[in-house]
Amino acid sequence: MMPIPYIPIGAIAFAILVYASGLAPQTHAVPDASSIPAAEQQLPSRTPTVLARAGDVEILAFQPPEDGVYKGITVRTPSRDQTFAWSTSSNETYAPAVSLTDLTGDNKNELTIILTKGYGTGVLEQEIHVLNPEDVTEIPLENPLEAVREQVSASMTPSDDSMILTLHIDNKGDVVKLYDASYAAVWLDRPGYGSILKYEVRDNRLWAYVSVSVSPAELAGMLAAEYDTGLKIKDLNFEEQIR
């Protein structure tokens, strides 16, 4: 039988004292990265694409385009970034148009952003947003297509070898255009509006232009809508020039 080793009673008492006082070595589990709250993780940052600038305001896209379209547009001002669920073409020819202009007559500039939603032969669809640059909130404005539907009545009338377009604009009277019947292979039963819808800021005023179609391939001209300082359409005129 092997002899039992002698352990001094003082050593035993010291060991008990250390354990009881919490001085004994302790082990700690190292947390897995998936258990760390997202706010504490160091996420990689993405350098945004600058789509347009006006003064100290930038229009940004943080995600690459999908099928030629940027989705999710960020407005960056000196005080904040604000992202909107907007989209715009990635074609540089149709880059966003941005301006800081006093459109409402209050001696403070509004931020106007014009985006292109679609384009092609005889087609251009733009979308406009007017913001207060101080808090980056959107200011509502009248839809020009609704104004056209409310203020314009039109007809296409065949006559012998001719086709007659008649536009009646409220408080403006009639616009009449006479076409040779052979001018178009196919005529519309009634004029169409808005295959081209575009916006422009000019002379501290906002303008919208709505095309008038007489056939699938022919435009008669544009309805030019001028906005007032309340961002309501105050004037509507027909122009033969295609903008």
Please check whether residue 232 is in contact with residue 225, taking contact to mean a CB–CB distance below 8 angstroms. no
pLDDT grade for 7, boundaries at 50, 70 and 90: very low
Q: Which two tokens stand for residue 90?
A: 């990635």
> pLDDT at position 243, please?
84
Q: For the ranges 2-11, 32-41, 50-59, 168-177, which has the lowest average pLDDT?
A: 32-41
pLDDT grade for 46, boundaries at 50, 70 and 90: confident
Strand positions, DSSP E, the chain: 49-54, 57-61, 69-76, 81-89, 97-101, 110-120, 123-132, 137-139, 152-159, 162-169, 173-180, 192-202, 205-215, 218-227, 233-239
| Closest by Cα among 219, 171, 178 to 195 | 219
Give the H/E segment covering residue 9. Answer: helix 9-20
b/e per residue 71-81 (b: at least 16 CB within 10 A): eebbbbbeeee
Percentage with pLDDT > 90 across the chain: 78
Look up tokens 């604009």; give the residue.
169
Q: Which two tokens stand for residue 60?
A: 């940004």
b/e per residue 1-27 (b: at least 16 CB within 10 A): eeeeeeeeeeeeeeeeeeeeeeeeeee
pLDDT for 185-237, tens place per residue?
A: 999 999 999 999 999 999 999 999 999 999 999 999 999 999 999 999 999 99
pLDDT grade for 45, boundaries at 50, 70 and 90: low
Dist CA 23 CA 6 (whole Å): 25
Dist CA 17 CA 13 (whole Å): 6
Please check whether residue 98 is in contact with residue 52, taking contact to mean a CB–CB distance below 8 angstroms. yes
Dist CA 78 CA 65 (whole Å): 25
Task: Determine the distance from the C-alpha atom of residue 146 to the mean position of all C-alpha atoms in its chain, rounded to a whole number.
Answer: 20
pLDDT for 170-195, tens place per residue?
A: 999 899 999 999 999 999 999 999 99
Please check whether residue 144 is in contact with residue 152, taking contact to mean a CB–CB distance below 8 angstroms. no
Is pLDDT at 239 greater than 90 in this prediction?
yes
Percentage with pLDDT > 70 across the chain: 81
- CB-based contacts of 243, cutoff 8 Å, min separation 6: 196, 198, 200, 209, 222
Is pLDDT at 111 greater than 80 in this prediction?
yes
Please check whether residue 88 is in contact with residue 96, taking contact to mean a CB–CB distance below 8 angstroms. yes
pTM of the predicted structure, to 2 decimals: 0.79
b/e per residue 40-67 (b: at least 16 CB within 10 A): eeeeeeeeeeebbebeebbbbbeeeeee
Is pLDDT at 71 greater than 70 in this prediction?
yes
pLDDT grade for 39, boundaries at 50, 70 and 90: very low
Question: Is 228 strand, coil or helix?
Answer: coil
